[in-house]
Structure 1
Amino acid sequence: MSSKVPVIEQCAVSERVQQGVMVEDLASYLARNRNLVFPHRHNFYHLLLFTKGGGKHTIDFEVFDIVPWQIYFMSPGQIHTWSFEGEMDGYVVNFDKGFFTTFLLRPDYIGCFSFFSGLVRDEVFTVKEAEREVIVDTFKRLQTYIRDVDFTRISLLYIFHLLEKQRDISNPLQGDMYNHTLLRNLLNLIELNYRSLRLPKDYAALLYITPNHLNALCQEVLGSSAGEVIRNRVLLEAKRLLVIKDYAISEIAYELNFNDNSYFTKFFKKGEGVTPEEFRKKHT
């Protein structure tokens, strides 16, 4: 089966990689990777800060207009592409999945940051003016001291905390660590089990809470019911499979644990507004 959306490895796009991390100015990165304009996935974490330029970029089929001081985060496996306009500048950071694992007591610690949630709505935002100078200064220091891996880890965590703090104003879970942990655990459980577990009550049982509590939490923070959150993850995987390889619709239905093609097609059309075949034609 031929792959339609290739997986890009860090060694193919990064320069001066030091023990799994690269920090580079955007202009140089684009000059070296000028042909990287087709839809692709990464096997590493990727963040990009725009300080100049325009155009559009897409993450998991959601399109964003580029504006100065916009930043986006991507986790391994997400599909994206870009179409830049004018003179581009900013900073790019690529780091491997295990970059923080041995450094932190909690291997999954970066998952606590909202922009590593795997939800596209949390991954793209504008850096507030008060934080811009210190973040750019930190990126410059990172480029200078990139060989000092512990300094790089600490500096990136510092940037992550600054960005998370600036978003807390609109975060309904600010100060509520119990529900914050519940939501993170829910998203992690959905990521592991969305093929086989489709009902909110299944996840509520795994979290030792009531389905009503789970649904109220999702409505408050995500603006969707728990059932919608689960269905949206299944739908996202269906869209990825439709464009990643030449899978038959029946193969995708089987992969996602649907009983038959017609049920899968009805599910997909209800969520996306088009049939799987129409979606594939549009995006390939």
Structure 2
Amino acid sequence: MSSTVYPTFGICHLSASRSGNDLLNADPLGSYISGNPHLQTMHSHSFYHLVYFRSGAGTHTVDFETFPVEPGMIYFMKPGQVHLWNFEGVPEGYIVNFSPVFFDQLFISGGFIDRFPFFIPHAGRQVLLLPEERRAETEALLEAVVREQQQQEPSSQLMIASLLIQLFLQVDRYSEQKYRHEAAGYQSAVLRKFEQLIETHFRTKRLPREYAELLHITPSYLNALCRDLPGTSAGELIRNRVILEAKRLLVNFERSVSAVAQELNFHDTSYFIRFFKKYNGLTPEQFRRSFRPQQQTYRQEEQDH
């Protein structure tokens, strides 16, 4: 494992589920946390990650943004995101981890996941507090997923896939109602496509007009759409994704600031430093220094093992 401030785990590194399945596991949250104490420090995953809290308190930090833990809260994460739990006691709920190829191997296009805004890190919908009237249905679906995972009956993986799709669609339906002011139909579809394009091209395309060209719309229409729906400019959405990736790279201490700048296609390190400080309030070195105590803790844990 590399000597970075945080490790990246695959499903095979997780011990709560004993099925030996490296494409998916689903567990009650309490046993998952007890069986995986190494997940209590900052880490990332190579898989999709869904967490639902039936009870509990504390905080959950995802990509350097901290959220409360409370009953009815559901989190969605994509591969590569970094997160950290800080629980008060042991929470109860459900956790589902699945490989990017889980749906593909069942002849279901895994690309359909990209249509859901809660799997787009910068779309602002990865953390949702479900209303009480929707929680029983959500919990029943997740309980069924866990049961199928434990029993491993014939066609269990296909059954799990169908249950997850149903869950995603139900959460998406609630999300659309919650964000109804963001409009529906064509405008909503264009915005989702823009968010997907940012995820694909943020390293090489920084200008709204470049994305407008890919979307076959004018830059002014794209900006108007962004200001009407998420309430920000197209340029800010692009910048936020670049800054997020810079943060993820900076807490890997083996990379120099100049190497991070190069990886993000900043050909002038000084400009990258000014850019980062302007929009984050700290220089890259100041930001990464705030994570050094955790790096030392993680390395000590590695030595102890």
CA contact (8 A) 2:209 2:218 kept: yes
Greater displacement, 158-167 / 185-194: 185-194
Partner of 1:73: 76
Superposed CA offset, 1:112-140 (max 9, x none): 11211122621011111111111112222
TM-score scaled to structure 1, two decimals?
Answer: 0.94
CA contact (8 A) 2:73 2:127 kept: yes
* The one of 98, 111, 115 aligned to 1:112: 115
Q: SS at the partner of 2:57?
A: strand
Partner of 1:168: 176
Partner of 1:142: 145
Percent identical: 40
**Structure 2 counterpart of 1:181, which letter?**
A
CA contact (8 A) 2:114 2:196 kept: no
Q: SS at the partner of 2:267?
A: coil
- Which ranges of structure 2 fall in alignment gaps of 5 or more residues? 293-305
Task: Give 1:115-130 correspondences, 5 Å limit.
Answer: 115-119=118-122, 121-130=124-133
Superposed CA offset, 1:217-254 (max 9, x none): 22222221011111111111111110024211111111
Give the superposition deviation at 1:173. Answer: 4.7
CA contact (8 A) 1:70 1:125 kept: yes
Q: Distance in 2 between matches of 1:180 and 1:17?
A: 40
Q: Distance in 2 between matches of 1:97 and 1:260?
A: 35
Partner of 1:11: 12
**Structure 2 counterpart of 1:5, which letter?**
Y
Is structure 2 residue 135 aligned with structure 1 residue 153?
no
* The one of 84, 89, 94 aligned to 2:87: 84
CA contact (8 A) 1:24 1:93 kept: yes
CA contact (8 A) 1:59 1:120 kept: no
Q: Distance in 1 between matches of 2:27 and 2:141?
A: 12
Count of residue pairs brought into register by the alignment = 283
Q: SS at the partner of 1:35?
A: helix
Q: Distance in 1 between matches of 2:22 and 2:283?
A: 44
**Structure 1 counterpart of 2:125, which letter?**
D
Partner of 2:36: 33
Two-structure CA RMSD over aligned residues (Å): 1.8
- Which ranges of structure 1 fall in alignment gaps of 5 or more residues? none
